Amino acid sequence: MPGTPPTRFVYLGPEGTFAEQALRSVPAAERGARTPARSVGEALDSVRVGDADAALVPLENSIGGAVGVTLDEMAEGDPLVITREVILPVEFVLGARPNTPLTSIRTVAAHPQASTQCRGWLRDHLPDAVVVDVLSNGAAAAGAGAGEYDAAICAPIGATRHRLATLAEKIADHPDAVTRFVLVSRPGPPPPATGDDLTSLAVYIAHDRVGALLSVLMELAVRGVNLTRIESRPTGEALGRYVFFLDCTGHVADVRMGEALQGLRRVCADVRFLGSYPRHRWAESAGERPVPAPAGLSDADYVDAAAWLTRLRTGELT
């Protein structure tokens, strides 16, 4: 029921992946039950049918970009909302069974995205090793632990889970790479506004209108709502039909965000609200600060203007 803290969590599995590591950074999830799912769709459907209270799934990676399947699943089916984001540094390690020397490694298990992000390190340190594609970082660690492969590229939690010795740390070619995960629940009251929030939307534009996408952007811009991300995905209806995913600074409780949402409702074919939630604190520590509203477009300015209009309508001209 609304307001009840979640206790049953599901995440994109298997165990020993970055998703599990990200989920365990959520205090309620560390205390609650955590169940791996085989796919993003399975994780989200578990929430929809009530088998779980919340699901943690990847949304985007600073190297690989948006996770399309997550966007598609959020745009379709019964509505779900984001209540939290978790930004996790992607720090790959090379794990192997204890007492395995680096010079003896001939096969390395890795998810394709992991091996791509570690291509330079593999070229420099294991140029003759064969990289074997597996379904996940967790599966790579499990395979190395079972002796199917000499080593694995995996998350630190995967190496620990499968009792692998860490032969090398931070082997990714981009040391500052991060993955953004989101915690998703059934619709309910959003978390309270903090002053440093994001609002996510799926926007369907009217394709028979000239400048439809510009109209969407103008509804945000004229109210000083900063657009931090825009991503398009095909709707599957026909070639050239897209849904646009937007991340905006602000909270649905903010006056200017509320007016922007009303404006989008008027000019768009459809708008799906995907949640208002606090920005991950990592953003501030990385030097990112909330973009202040332009002069005349703060919430205080909106409140003052609304009060002034009310006075005019009641005959007060002072």
User: Going along 119-267, which residue ranges are E strands?
Assistant: 130-133, 151-154, 165-168, 178-185, 197-204, 227-234, 242-249
Query: Is the same domain home to 63 and 183?
Result: yes
- Is 60 exceeded by the pLDDT of residue 314? yes
* Co-location of 206 and 289 in the same domain: yes
Residue 218's identity, in one-letter code, is: M
Pair (75, 223) in one structural domain: no
Rounded to whole angstroms, the Cα distance separating 117 from 50 reads 36
Query: Domain of 271: which CATH number?
Result: 3.30.70.260
Give the global pTM. Answer: 0.81
Do 78 and 103 share a structural domain? no
173-225: per-residue pLDDT in tens?
988 888 999 999 999 999 999 989 999 999 998 766 777 888 889 999 988 89
Greater model confidence, 61 or 54: 54
Q: How far apart are CA 94 and CA 65, in angstroms?
A: 24
Same domain for 161 and 43? no
Q: How confident is the model at residue 93 (pLDDT cuts 50, 70, 90)?
A: very high
The answer, yes or no, to whether residue 10 has pLDDT greater than 50, is: yes
Question: What pLDDT, on a 0 to 100 scale, did the predictor assign at position 287?
Answer: 54
Q: Is the pLDDT of residue 95 over 60?
A: yes
Domain that holds residue 236: 190-317
CA distance 298 to 304: 10
pLDDT greater than 70 at residue 38: yes
Q: Mind listing the pLDDT tens digit for each residue in 232-254?
A: 888 777 676 789 999 999 999 99
194 and 294 share one domain? yes
Residues 203 and 311 reside in one and the same domain: yes
Same domain, 151 and 24: no
- The number of domains in the chain is 3
Mean pLDDT of 129-142: 91
C-alpha span between 309 and 307 (Å, rounded): 5
Let me know whether 55 and 65 are in one domain. Answer: yes
Confidence of residue 290 (pLDDT cuts 50, 70, 90): low
Strand partners, 87: 180
Question: Do residues 136 and 47 share a domain?
Answer: no
What CATH number is associated with residue 36?
Answer: 3.40.190.10
**DSSP at 135:** S
72/124 same-domain check: no
